[in-house]
Homo-oligomer: A and B are copies of this chain.
């Protein structure tokens, strides 16, 4: 089936916000096996919105609209869809009650009459409760076409999609779609895609779609089948082939698992404590690790040592090393890693030092050069990378590289 996305909101048209809803919905729809040929953005304008809805309903089976469901005059989506599909608007008692309850809960006294507009729906449509706001979602079915109207805020649309819309879309299709996620690190996007280009070129069922993230590439394998077992069988050869080609560069096959979660879990498994000494990344490495709930099991303290003095005083990096090899060197990264672990009484130490730019580069040590030292229970290893980006990108990439090499060191130590 063919799905089409329409994002409603003048704030997207003037670039006031980035349209993350479209990317979110597009990926979800792809995973459900829906084909998407068009995405569009229209402002809060009745005529143009109606035109867009009509064109979309004409060429696609399902049209998902996000935004424009709120209580103000600007919020036109429901009215316009009802008109385009030839349906009158009626009041939905259930929605009215929910809105009343919502305002009671937050202790609002004067509910402006505008708010009741949110209880109006196109006749005969399905109301989808909004557990994170007042505007309900709405599904309108007519003449073999379906319009799905969802609220704009990401904090409302995502839980609503995952709780109710996903199941609805699954049931709408004769075939059921299943997907399998493989997340790869250590290999760049183009190289990773090249490594399986032959598979992608000849793909029919299952399909393989690459998703590039900073320092990671995710491959989603999707197939249609009667049930999970059949799907697993259909996908098995492809999954196995990807494992053969990427090996331990695959850090997870869990949809929601992040690289930092994998690292924290590896540390937890081994009952290791970790400390870092960060120079160019300046706290972002540990900041990301601590994004894992439960990081307190593996982190007690960590250090940002930006100046040479701090590297010496706090971590015990030797003056000689700093003078002879410089602050950005294999030797300093190593001593930082060891110093961090020692000072924090930790089992694992990570030292990160590099030239983030835009200044500070030389011919010998250009901008983007970064050294990462890993100390694990007495064993040390240092890694060197040459990154190519601006200051912000080099620092973000440095964090991913550090997570990646730390994971590799922790896995290798296992064997």
A residues neighboring B (CB under 8 Å):
12-20, 22-30, 36-43, 45, 48, 52, 209-212, 278, 280-287, 289-291, 293, 295-296, 299-307, 309-310, 313-314, 344, 356-359, 391-392, 395
* Chain A, interface SS category: mixed
Q: Decide if A306 touches B310 in the complex (CB within 8 Å).
A: no
Distance between A395 CB and nearest chain B CB, rounded to angstroms: 7
Contacts of A29 in B (CB 8 A): 15
Distance between A102 CB and nearest chain B CB, rounded to angstroms: 15
Q: Decide if B304 touches A286 in the complex (CB within 8 Å).
A: yes
Residue of B nearest to A301 (CB): B310
Report, nearest first, the 3 A-B pairs whose CB atoms are least far apart: A283-B283, A15-B27, A282-B290
Q: Decide if B41 touches A22 in the complex (CB within 8 Å).
A: yes
Distance between A200 CB and nearest chain B CB, rounded to angstroms: 12
Give the most central of A48, A284, A313: most B CB within 10 Å.
A284
Contacts of A209 in B (CB 8 A): 14, 16
CA distance A282 to B291 in the complex (A): 8
Distance between A271 CB and nearest chain B CB, rounded to angstroms: 15
Q: Decide if A40 touches B37 in the complex (CB within 8 Å).
A: no
Contact flag A283-B301 (CB < 8 Å), given A14-B26, A22-B15 = no
Contacts of A278 in B (CB 8 A): 283
Contacts of A286 in B (CB 8 A): 282-283, 304
CA distance A29 to B16 in the complex (A): 12
Q: Decide if B14 touches A36 in the complex (CB within 8 Å).
A: yes
Contacts of A24 in B (CB 8 A): 15
Number of copies: 2
Contacts of A357 in B (CB 8 A): 293
CA distance A380 to B287 in the complex (A): 25
Q: Decide if B302 touches A290 in the complex (CB within 8 Å).
A: no
Q: Decide if B14 touches A37 in the complex (CB within 8 Å).
A: no
Contacts of A289 in B (CB 8 A): 282
Q: Decide if B43 touches A212 in the complex (CB within 8 Å).
A: no
Q: Decide if A314 touches B301 in the complex (CB within 8 Å).
A: yes
Q: Decide if B314 touches A295 in the complex (CB within 8 Å).
A: no
Q: Decide if B291 touches A395 in the complex (CB within 8 Å).
A: yes
Contacts of A307 in B (CB 8 A): 296, 299-301
Give the most central of A17, A41, A285, A307: most B CB within 10 Å.
A41
Distance between A309 CB and nearest chain B CB, rounded to angstroms: 6
Contacts of A30 in B (CB 8 A): 14-15
CA distance A309 to B299 in the complex (A): 11
CA distance A306 to B309 in the complex (A): 24
Q: Decide if B300 touches A310 in the complex (CB within 8 Å).
A: yes
Distance between A52 CB and nearest chain B CB, rounded to angstroms: 8
Residue of B26, B52, B314 near A12 (CB, 8 A) is: B26
CA distance A139 to B26 in the complex (A): 30
Q: Decide if A282 touches B295 in the complex (CB within 8 Å).
A: yes
Contacts of A26 in B (CB 8 A): 12-15
Residue of B nearest to A290 (CB): B282
Distance between A316 CB and nearest chain B CB, rounded to angstroms: 13
Q: Decide if B41 touches A293 in the complex (CB within 8 Å).
A: no
CA distance A20 to B22 in the complex (A): 11
Residue of B40, B304, B314 near A38 (CB, 8 A) is: B40
Distance between A404 CB and nearest chain B CB, rounded to angstroms: 18
Q: Decide if A36 touches B13 in the complex (CB within 8 Å).
A: yes
